[in-house]
């Protein structure tokens, strides 16, 4: 088996586990609040993931977008907070003394999983371009992640075509429907929209751990680029209903079973069997999850 690239796990959920206030991702600024109140704990989380064996860590910039920051009248701090998130992660890497890659996010601009809330394409492009300009030259990897709609993914990925960073694209899946984005598009259709853009790796993220496997089977047939996944610490009872409700997150929770590190790693082994070469964790995965992945696959 080829050596896998193993990343870190959840940040917002981990901050909450550690007693940091992380407000609603629907109504407030979620993990971005910690950039104004708890920078030391953010660094400690990064360090714990590095200690667990992560080979790349992702800066805490997921909720640092114009629409989300506007909820707290902080849109004028977009650049400052983005650069602060990078600085904290960079300090953790330096303190660790290890050769760790730094990733940053081009996330959903509005509430995650809500394909119905995406902006029109030109507005998405402009806002992603602003973020891409801030990140350029600052990180090893830019991940267009948790993409809920093909146009959202296209807008984000288009803005980093000339970036010196590695360019990754990660789609999220509708709460309990396999191979289906919250937009209702399937993985094949979503890939078709971005297939002509430069991309160094394709991922499935922020969904039930068991849902990643089926989508990797699809991706493996669509590209010879690296594929992988980073999921939430839940399994999902999926359904085959083609109708799509607006709130994928509600469907997720109604179908979710919380799992531990061992079960998570067991599911990830199926990704590896399907050709995954990048593995990590998303919401509610912790340093202990990453440590288990390193023990088994590192």
**What is the tens place of the pLDDT at every residue in 104-142?**
999 999 999 999 999 999 999 999 999 999 999 999 999
**Helices and strands: H and E segment counts in the chain:** 12, 10
Query: Cα torsion at 154, 195, 148, 15 (round to 10°)?
Result: -90
- Residue numbers of the domain that contains 263: 5-297
Residue 249: its pLDDT value, please?
A: 74
Residue 1: its pLDDT value, please?
A: 46
Domain total in the chain: 1
Q: What is the CATH number of the domain that holds 59?
A: 3.20.20.330
Q: How far apart are CA 202 and CA 224, in angstroms?
A: 10
Does 33 score more than 60 pLDDT? Answer: yes
Contact 111, 118 (CB under 8 A): no
pTM over 0.85: yes
Reference 156, options 145, 172, 164; nearest CA is 145
N-term to C-term CA, the chain: 10
């Amino acid at each position: 088996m080829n050596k896998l690239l193993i990343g870190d796990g959840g940040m917002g959920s981990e901050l909450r586990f550690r007693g940091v206030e992380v407000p609603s991702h629907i109504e407030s600024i979620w993990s971005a609040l910690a950039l104004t109140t708890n920078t030391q704990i953010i660094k400690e989380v990064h360090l714990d993931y590095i200690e667990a064996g992560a080979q790349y860590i992702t800066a805490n910039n997921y909720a640092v977008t114009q629409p989300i920051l506007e909820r707290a009248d902080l849109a004028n701090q977009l650049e400052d907070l983005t650069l602060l998130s990078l600085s904290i992660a960079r300090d953790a890497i330096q303190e660790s003394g290890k050769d760790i890659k730094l990733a940053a996010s081009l996330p959903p601009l509005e509430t995650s999983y809500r394909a119905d809330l995406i902006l029109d394409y030109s507005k998405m492009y402009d806002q992603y371009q602003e973020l891409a300009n801030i990140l350029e030259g600052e990180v090893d990897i830019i991940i267009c992640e948790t993409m809920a709609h093909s146009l959202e993914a296209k807008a984000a990925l288009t803005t980093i075509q000339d970036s010196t960073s590695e360019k990754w694209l990660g789609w999220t899946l509708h709460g309990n429907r396999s191979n289906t984005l919250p937009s209702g598009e399937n993985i094949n259709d979503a890939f078709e929209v971005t297939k002509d853009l430069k991309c160094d790796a394709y991922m499935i993220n922020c969904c039930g751990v068991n849902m990643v496997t089926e989508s990797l089977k699809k991706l493996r047939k669509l590209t010879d680029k690296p594929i992988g996944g980073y999921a939430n610490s839940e399994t999902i009872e999926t359904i085959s209903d083609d109708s799509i409700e607006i709130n994928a997150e509600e469907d997720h929770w109604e179908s979710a079973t919380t799992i531990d590190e061992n079960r998570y790693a067991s599911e990830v082994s199926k990704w590896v069997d399907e050709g995954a070469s990048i593995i990590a964790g998303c919401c509610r995965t912790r340093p202990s999850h990453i440590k288990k992945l390193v023990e088994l696959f590192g």
